[in-house]
Structures are given as C-alpha cells and as structure tokens.
Amino acid sequence: MNKPGLPQGTRDFSAVVVRKRNHIFTTIRSVFELYGFQPLETPAMENLDTLMGKYGEEGDKLIFKILNNGLDNPAKEQQAKEAFSKILSGKSSRDITERALRYDLTIPFARYVAMNFGQLTLPFKRYQVQPVWRADRPQKGRYREFYQCDADVVGSRSLLNEVELAYIYSQVFSKLRVPVTIHINSRKVLAALAEICGGEDKMMDITIAIDKLDKIGLEKVKEELSGKGLNSGQVAVIDQYLSIGGDETEKMTQLKTLLGGNASGLQGIAEIQYVLDRCRSLPAGSRLQTDFTLARGLNYYTGIIFEVKANGVQMGSIGGGGRYDDLTGLFGVPDVPGVGISFGVDRIYDVMEELQVFPDDVAAGTRVLFFNLGQTESEKAFALMQQLREKQVACELYHEQAKFDKQFRYADKKQIPFTVIIGSKEAENGTCVVKNLASGEQHTIAQAVLPDFSFQ
RNA sequence: GAGGACGUAGCUCAGUUGGUUAGAGCGACAGUUUGUGGCACUGUAGGUCGGGGGUUCGAAACCCCUCGUUCUCCCCA
C-alpha cells in the first residue's frame, strides 16, 4: 500500500482553518452584498478555447488541461495518435483535450457576460468566490489550487465605481481588523510616461520594470530599462517620476509638471484626483494614497489601478484590481468597460494570524458535551440534548458509556466549554449537573430548565 | 522552464570516521480498584530509515537513478 498523498500545491483544511477562512469569506461576501453586488458561480471547468490565449504565452502553459474521455476507443485510435503527436509538438489538440480548469475568475465572468449580455441589467455588478487552478510550481504562499474573491462592475464608465470599490476594500479590512493602505495609480499616467519615454510600444517594458521597484530597487530598474532600449534622457524622466514624493497635494503637483503636457496623462491625473477627493472619509484603520510606482502585472488594465497592503506586516499585496476596457470583446461583445477588485484570501489569512486578529469565537464548535453514564441515563441525556439543539446550541452525547476521566478528556481535546452530567442520581431525581470546564464551577439544576440555561 | 536544500515512528527531530537488536520528546492507546478532567507515574502499540540499484565483510550514513517535499529565479494571487 502506497501512502496516500495530495497533488502538489493543494491543501487540506482542518476544522480550525476552515472556520477562520470562512470568517474571511463571509465578511467579504457580506460587504459585497451591502454594495449591491450579486453572487455568480461558474463551473470548475471551461472549454479550453475560452481560456487559451487570454493570459499570454506563459499563462497558456499554466492552464490545467483535462484529458478527454474515451481515448481508448479502438475505432478512434488513429485519430488519437495523430492528435497526440500534435500535443508533442507543443500545440493543443481538441481530440485529446477540450476542457480545462478555470485559471482565474475574470475570464469566466467575461464569458458569462458575453453569453448573457441581452439579459443583464447594466451596470452588472457581480461577485464570485471560488477556487482557481494553476499548473505553476508551488512556493511560499503560492498554490496550485487557491481561492479568489472578485467583485466587478461591467457596463459603466463612472468613476463612482472606483470610489465604491475603494470603500469596499476599506470596509472589509476594517471588519477584519486589519489596518491597510490602499495604493492607487492610473494606467493612463503610465501610458503618458511611456509616450514621453520612447513610445507606446515601450509601455509593457516600463510597466513591468516599475512593478519590480520595491523588489529589486531603483538602480536595477534603471538598468533594466536601459537594457530595453531606453536612452539616458528617457531613463532620467522615469527616475524623476519614481522619485515623486511629499504629501498628496505636492505629489499631484509634481506629477502634473512631469506629465501635464500629455493628454492621457492629464486624464489619468484628473481621475486619480477624483477618487482621492471622494475617499476622504474611509472607515478608520485604512487610508488611500497615490503610489506612482504601482503598475500591476496584468496587461488588460487601462485606467485606475489598486493594490492593498497590510500596514506593519512584511507581506506582498493582499488585494488588487483596476479598470479595464472591452473585457468581453474577445467573446464577440465589444465596448463593455468594467472595473474590478480581488482579495487574496491566503495572504489575508497569514496577515490575520500574524496580527492575531481572528475573533476568539471563530473557532467555536461543540458547546456542550453530555456525559454517557449508562443506558437509561443516556436516554434522558439524549432527549435533553435534542431540546438544546432546537435552541441552536451545538451538543454532543459521548458515544458510549465510559469513565469520567475519558469523557472529560474528550471535552478538553475538542475544547468543549461545558459538560452536562446525568448519572443514576440525577436521572432519578430529575436534575443534571452543568459544569464549566474552564472555571471548574458546576451547578445542579432541574432537567426541565436546562433548555433555558445560557451556556456563556 | 532554471537552480539549491531536505526525505529516519502519527508530529518535531537525534543517530559519532560506515560497525551489535535504529533512539528521544510530544502525540495515540491502556492502566494507577467505575461520580469529577487538565497534572503525575507505569506500560503498550507504532519504522521495508521515501523507492530502486551500486560500493562494502557490513549502509540510515558513501555513489548513481527515481519519486516526494520545500525554497529561490521567471511569472503571478
């Protein structure tokens, strides 16, 4: 017998972890609902065509493909062999694989919007909390199966959406008791910078280089830019751009000086200013600030971009998002703009562990353990237990008659805070003993009033 | 896709230049005379030393291959 194991990069979640994760999920969901977003769920698998070509060349390689069934059908042996040789030469073949696990939630959402465009009330606001799969090599904080929590608005160009999304971030993290800073920038500002420094076609290179700033440092970024063909004057402009500092007013002034001559730049600056002005009263614990070094790796963003970092914790971003144009164009429905955000649950979990901000009652399981002290005793206990369950109190009856020692230890191990003891004496005179395991206090009360006992 | 580190009991790990029957702590289970737990004491179970091959009189240890885990880079959440 081989030892059982898990596929690389996947995890089991035990009770305590599931409860803590659910606390994060339900908090996020409740805030999404509060802002008028509706839930959407899509299948774990999509047609391969839907996913291929949407995430760049690297992304295609990281999609988990599903082997077709029936490949062993003798009648189709020749076809299967030809298809497989196509696979060997690096192309995918519909005769071998025509479905794949979803890689993110955005493309399935775009597919859904395109398929149902006629029926949707615009602007369409949906949220989605589901696992996604990537055939990436796992490493610290990175898995092959992980959850994404996305909220998107499509069919609206209004910047009010950006403002609301910033408030959602703020409200969620306030509820989770995680102090955060929401960084914002605009792809239009970055586009303007690219136009000034070597043209639009350099935008990708510049974006990627800037995105690495906090990882590799200013000098390395400049080196990388020179390597991509920017001359020293152009690198100097980017150096100047990355050095913008001071309070928000000063930063915006410097940005205007640098990029104000560019139409795209002006627009980006105006949009950032709008969001800044309308996010003055974010819930306590979070702040919004411009960060012109923010770039975001994904290339479909076109307007405001966000990234959220926990204050005082050494950890990458715990959320990100931004505005995109024409997400559904790939699926035949052009001109549908949108803006969305995403929460990184696994990192949020780690941050909350580090800050120790999970509420104590998150781990609450069984509240009361009924001792099993014999046939007739346990029958009484069972009947009483059912009454408590009716009152929404989580109970268990010990599974067999056993010594006190054993039953107490079971309660200890499962961190059950109360026991109810009904032995022969109690069974006879209609009472029961309620014991608080933490304090050791115990009371004898009538069985009739047990259902009204508050196990606090 | 490239490169490092590590695989010994359920868990965390010892294990001397290669040398008897591979150990500890924690955990599990049982007991310390069946109505009050956490402690303590005693005992029991649990290992093809990741797998395969090689070197050797002798391998957990040395060599090769393989599988797995983990970390870094690329990319991302």
A208 touches strand B (CB under 7 A): yes
Question: pLDDT confidence of A216, banded at 50, 70, 90?
Answer: confident
Structure tokens given for A83: 């298809």
In this predicted structure, what is the pLDDT of residue A9?
Answer: 87
Split at pLDDT 50, 70, 90, the class of A218 is confident
CB A93 within 8 A of CB A68: no
> Cα separation of A350 and A10, whole Å?
17
Q: From CA A264, how far away is CA A268, in angstroms rounded? A: 6
A67-81, A136-150, A265-279: lowest mean pLDDT where? A67-81
pLDDT for residue A270 is more than 90: yes
What angle is formed at CA A100 by the lines to CA A97 and CA A103, rounded to 5 degrees? 150
Query: How far apart, in Å, are the Cα atoms of A49 and each of A45, A87, A107, A420?
Result: 11, 15, 11, 60
Tell me which residues from 233 to 292 on chain A have a beta carbon below 7 angstroms from nucleic acid strand B: none
Domains and CATH numbers, chain A: 15-43+103-355 (3.30.930.10), 368-452 (3.40.50.800)
Q: What's the Å distance between residue A137 CA and nucleotide B53 C1'?
A: 30
Mean pLDDT of all residues belonging to chain A = 89
Structure tokens at A121: 């009330």
CA of A194 to C1' of B1 (A): 30
A414/B26 CA-to-C1' distance in Å: 18
CB of A227 under 7 A from strand B? no
pTM: 0.89
Q: Is the CB of A140 under 7 A from strand B?
A: yes
- Binned at pLDDT 50, 70 and 90, residue A6 comes out as confident
**Considering only CA atoms, which residue is closest to the C1' of nucleotide B75?**
A58
What positions of strand B are covered by protein, i.e. any atom < 7 Å from a CB? Answer: 1-2, 28, 30, 32, 34-38, 68-77
Mean pLDDT calculated for residue range A162-174 = 96
Sign of CA dihedral A60, A63, A68, A74: positive
Q: Is the CB of A406 under 7 A from strand B?
A: yes
Any idea which nucleotide's C1' is nearest the CA of A408? B37
Q: What percent of chain A has pLDDT over 70?
A: 99
Is the CB of residue A64 inside 7 Å of nucleic acid strand B?
Answer: no
Of A246-260, A356-370, A407-421, where does mean pLDDT reach its minimum?
A356-370
Stretch A425-443: mean pLDDT, rounded? 91
* Residue A144 in this model has a pLDDT that exceeds 70: yes
- φ and ψ at A395, to 5 degrees? -130, 160
pLDDT score for A423: 92
Across all strands, nucleotide nearest A425 (CA–C1'): B35
Whether A96 shows a pLDDT value over 90: the answer reads: no
Asked if the Cβ of residue A347 lies within 7 A of any atom of strand B, the reply is yes
